[in-house]
A and B are shown apart, each in its own frame.
Chain A
Amino acid sequence: AQSVTQLGSHVSVSEGALVLLRCNYSSSVPPYLFWYVQYPNQGLQLLLKYTSAATLVKGINGFEAEFKKSETSFHLTKPSAHMSDAAEYFCAVSRSGAGSYQLTFGKGTKLSVIP
């Protein structure tokens, strides 16, 4: 069984400040991990994914995440927040290996950016 916990349903940061969105996972097998962003009234856009290569993963829009097996974490960071980053962010986990496309999502973290 797999699960994802996102700490903090709502995070507010000032424009230019560090963004840190937390994600912890539980998986009985080596996981694949993902971060998706959802803008209001839109679908999900993939930010980045971890598939057992480099533990530090760089994504789009300046975001990156680090896989820490010992902490079962995959936190999302961005050095400097921009107004356009305001959205909801979802962490997700799936089983590793080809054919494993069932994603288990966290409940999401809504990011607000204060001017």
Chain B
Amino acid sequence: DAGITQSPRHKVTETGTPVTLRCHQTENHRYMYWYRQDPGHGLRLIHYSYGVKDTDKGEVSDGYSVSRSKTEDFLLTLESATSSQTSVYFCAISEPSGGWETQYFGPGTRLLVL
């Protein structure tokens, strides 16, 4: 499982509240990613990180921010949660595999915004 944990695993929150999801890895991987998965859309990239304090936007970054102050943690923050952000959120890391990087995913966080 590439040493990836996500917390919380389930969360229910109200519209307008800030929410922070945590991705933690134990194997010192440089690259980390946040995706969301919704019915009919597959997985979509929200933000990614290519090193400590180095992050960039993915294809669905509006309403989200990220931070990476140390290698092992990549935080995803919903600044003011909306019902459209109800989703399953997956964190991923990249690990060298056969000369290339392969992404491995965490178990996911189910978020419900009421």
Q: Do A and B come from one complex?
A: no
Binding site for A on B (CB under 8 A): none
Binding site for B on A (CB under 8 A): none
